[in-house]
Each structure stands twice: as C-alpha cells, then as structure tokens.
C-alpha cells in the first residue's frame, strides 16, 4: 500500500504493554529510535503484534509538534535532534528534524511558529508526537 503520510518508520516491535482496552506498542526504528503507539487490544491481536515482529510506525506530518528547549510534556514520543531543513510555503512550513539516532521526521507547522521558535538548519529541536497519533502497519 502506498500512503501520503510523510513519516513512515520501519522497524521492529520492541515490546507491547497491554492495558484493559489499549496497548502501548514500542517500535524500534532502523536508527534505534523508539516510536510508541497507542492501539486497541483488538488491533494488537489482528496484526499479531509482539516483540520481534517487523512493523512500520506511521505519522502524518501535521501530527508532529516541534519544540525547543526543555519542557515536561505528556506526549510519549519526544525525539531530540537537529533541524536539517525548513521548506516554507505560503502559510505553513515543512520542518525536517534528524534525531540523534538518525531518524528523519517531518512536521508541518505554521510559518508563524517557525519564526517564533527561530527554526532553521542547525537548530536543536524535538519532534513531539502523541502516541495516539501513531498508526502501526505490518
């Protein structure tokens, strides 16, 4: 299947933590970054998700927040790295962050946010993704 989501992180399921109705699925990317997804227990069973299974964590660029500095957040995925590119459009920009592990993540944010945060190539930043925004594909 081909999809439009910019962020598709191929990797291996590191662990599955089951709760009452949902599970946290941790996918280790080829660059050794961990992406955590919240999925239903039904999806865990249907996809056969278990440690060692190959999987892809999928995230739309519009679901990725960009942060600078330190802040305590509830979002499970906070991947530190460096901005490698800012592609400006009329209203929004696509910001590419390369994590310390080497994973490239793209975020679609407003031009106003780019300016307020001072984002440009070389700036240290975090890609922030809520676990509920991550889709697991096999």
Structural domain of 28: 7-137
Whether residue 1 is contained in a domain is answered as no
CB 62 within 8 A of CB 129: no
pLDDT tens-digit series, residues 45-58: 999 999 999 999 99
Q: Under DSSP, is residue 61 helix (H, G, I), strand (E, B) or coil?
A: helix
At 117, list the tokens. Answer: 């945060």
52 inside domain: yes
User: At residue 1, does pLDDT exceed 80?
Assistant: no
CB 84 within 8 A of CB 97: yes
**Has residue 2 been placed in a domain?**
no
From CA 110, how far away is CA 108, in angstroms rounded?
7
Among the listed residues 31, 43, 36, the one whose alpha carbon sits nearest the alpha carbon of residue 14:
36
| Cα gap 64→133, rounded to integer Å | 9
Q: For residue 11, give the nearest of 101, 132, 133 by alpha carbon.
A: 101
CATH, residue 130: 2.40.50.100
Domain count for the chain: 1
Residue 115: phi and psi, rounded to 5, are -70, -45
* Any domain includes 104: yes
Task: Record the pTM.
Answer: 0.94
Q: How far apart are CA 85 and CA 106, in angstroms?
A: 9
Can you list the alpha helix ranges (DSSP code H) found in 1-138? 41-47, 111-117
Residue 128 domain-assigned (yes or no)? yes
pLDDT in tens, 11-48: 999 999 999 999 999 999 999 999 999 999 999 999 99
3-state secondary structure of 49: coil
Three-state DSSP class for 57?
Answer: strand
Per residue in 83-134, pLDDT (tens digit) is 999 999 999 999 999 999 999 999 999 999 999 999 999 999 999 999 999 9
């Amino acid at each position: 299947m081909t999809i439009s989501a910019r962020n598709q992180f191929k990797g291996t399921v590191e662990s599955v933590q089951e709760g009452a109705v949902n599970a946290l699925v941790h996918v280790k990317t080829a660059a050794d970054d961990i992406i955590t997804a919240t999925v239903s227990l039904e999806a865990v069973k249907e996809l056969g998700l278990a440690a060692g299974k190959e999987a892809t964590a999928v995230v739309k660029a519009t679901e990725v927040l960009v942060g600078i500095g330190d802040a305590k957040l509830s979002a499970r995925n906070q991947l530190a790295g460096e901005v490698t590119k800012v592609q400006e459009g009329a209203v929004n920009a696509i910001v590419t962050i390369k994590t310390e592990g080497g994973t490239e993540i793209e975020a679609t944010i407003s031009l106003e946010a780019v300016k307020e945060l001072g984002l440009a190539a070389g700036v240290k930043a975090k890609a922030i993704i809520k676990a509920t925004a991550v889709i697991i594909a096999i």
